[in-house]
Amino acid sequence: MTYILGIETSCDETAAAVVVDGKTIASNVVASQIDLHAEFGGVFPELASRAHVEAISVVVAQAVRDAGIAYDKLDAIAVTRGPGLVGSLLVGLNFAKGLALAVDRPLLGINHLEGHVYSLWLTEQNRSIEFPALVLIVSGGHTELVLMTGHGEYKRLGGTLDDAAGEAFDKVGRLLGLPFPGGPNIERAAQMGNPATYKFPRAKLDETYDFSFSGLKTAVMRAATVPPSAEARRQRGGDKKAQLRTGVSVNDVAASFQAALVDALVEKTARAAKAHEVTEVMIAGGVSANQALRQAMRRETDLPVRYPPLNLCTDNGAMIAAAGYYRFQAGQRDDWELEVQPMWPLTRSTYAIES
């Protein structure tokens, strides 16, 4: 059995986990900074790195303890090297280097996006994954449509030209006066709203697999400032209290926004799945927690649709450990010179990873 410790500090969670053979979670500890950043309505980088410094040694020790193993049982230490906030990444990488030296185990630098992809392998107990598979990575910082032809083999089909999907959720959430992070709060508001109230734009961008959410964001902003018609007010159901100063229903805007964003994501993903004859469609990253997205994806494609359990959609150490397992098997060993890579696209692995 191969035990990998995964450490993740790229954004606002300090997380560590031990994963066995790339798929069984022995422990998974996440210290969220949501309360810390809620006050600012977004992630405040300086505060994030300071909070990582305070939390990391406790979080890692807890993960190893929860796994019920001694440090010398670990086969390798995998850590997020990028993309992400430079100060936050540095905390995780430096801690991982120190630990790897102290316990004399190899260090593996992992791409955060590859981590999100491998969160799906933590669901493999149920049904094994066959290539080629299509992965839609939707998080706070990224929206990428990736064709995966083997372990560590990615072909980028498209991505966002402006805001990431999660970023759009967060910005619209702020506009609607909902607490940070916007995603789960918009989802909740949307359940009480009517998605047909506003016909927000779905950027088509012709035959590409790219996305654009800035037009949608502007349309939402405009809708929020225009008082609704008497007819719209009459049709409004549910929570009448959740109103903007203009009398616009927060729930109706949230539902209409979510519907437009989900439509755009699902339409391109379903089309790419057909064009590339994949075996299944996978969704990963924070926004893959969204039930409306999951349902629409299941409805619009005939293929199996896979997504991580809710606690593995947002950032965690288990996904970094899972990705680390395949890298470890492929022979990756990083040295002490390893540096953080705040901007790091998900590209084909430089290591030949055999399945």
Residue ranges binding ligand KG4 (CB under 6 A)? 11, 139-141, 166, 169-170, 181-184, 187, 285-287, 289-290, 314-315
Q: Are 174 and 163 in contact (CB under 8 A)?
A: no
Closer to ligand KG4 by CB, 114 or 315: give it: 315
Closer to ligand KG4 by CB, 27 or 111: give it: 111
> Residue from 315, 318, 326, 332 that binds Zn ion (CB under 5 A)?
315
Distance CA 75, CA 67 (A): 14
Q: Scan for tokens 């379903």, then name that residue.
A: 270
Closer to ligand KG4 by CB, 157 or 289: give it: 289
Return the beta strands (E) in 151-269 as ranges. Answer: 153-159
The one of Zn ion, ligand KG4, none whose footprint includes residue 324, by CB under 5 to 8 A per kind, is: none
- In angstroms, what is the minimal distance from the CB of 308 to Zn ion? 11
Distance CA 181, CA 12 (A): 11
- Assign 28 to helix, strand or coil: strand
- Give the containing element (helix H, strand E) for 54: helix 45-67
- In angstroms, what is the minimal distance from the CB of 278 to ligand KG4? 22
- In angstroms, what is the minimal distance from the CB of 11 to ligand KG4? 5
Distance CA 89, CA 85 (A): 6
Closer to ligand KG4 by CB, 159 or 166: give it: 166
Amino acid at 300: E
Counting beta carbons within 10 angstroms of the beta carbon of residue 73, is it exposed (0 to 12), middle (13 to 18) or buried (19 or more)? Answer: middle
Q: Scan for tokens 């031990």, then name that residue.
A: 18
Distance CA 112, CA 90 (A): 14
The one of ligand KG4, Zn ion, none whose footprint includes residue 170, by CB under 5 to 8 A per kind, is: ligand KG4
Closer to ligand KG4 by CB, 43 or 99: give it: 43
Buried b / exposed e across 221-244, counting CB within 10 Å, b at 16+? eebbeeebeeebeeebeeeeebbb
The one of Zn ion, ligand KG4, none whose footprint includes residue 169, by CB under 5 to 8 A per kind, is: ligand KG4
Instruction: Report in angstroms the alpha-carbon separations of 10 from 45, 83, 85, 291.
Output: 10, 7, 6, 25
The one of ligand KG4, Zn ion, none whose footprint includes residue 290, by CB under 5 to 8 A per kind, is: ligand KG4
Q: Would you count residue 139 as binding Zn ion (CB under 5 A)?
A: yes
The one of ligand KG4, Zn ion, none whose footprint includes residue 321, by CB under 5 to 8 A per kind, is: none
The one of Zn ion, ligand KG4, none whose footprint includes residue 289, by CB under 5 to 8 A per kind, is: ligand KG4
The one of Zn ion, ligand KG4, none whose footprint includes residue 87, by CB under 5 to 8 A per kind, is: none
Closer to Zn ion by CB, 139 or 301: give it: 139
- In angstroms, what is the minimal distance from the CB of 70 to Zn ion? 30
Closer to ligand KG4 by CB, 107 or 320: give it: 320
Residues lying near Zn ion in the complex (CB under 5 A): 139, 315
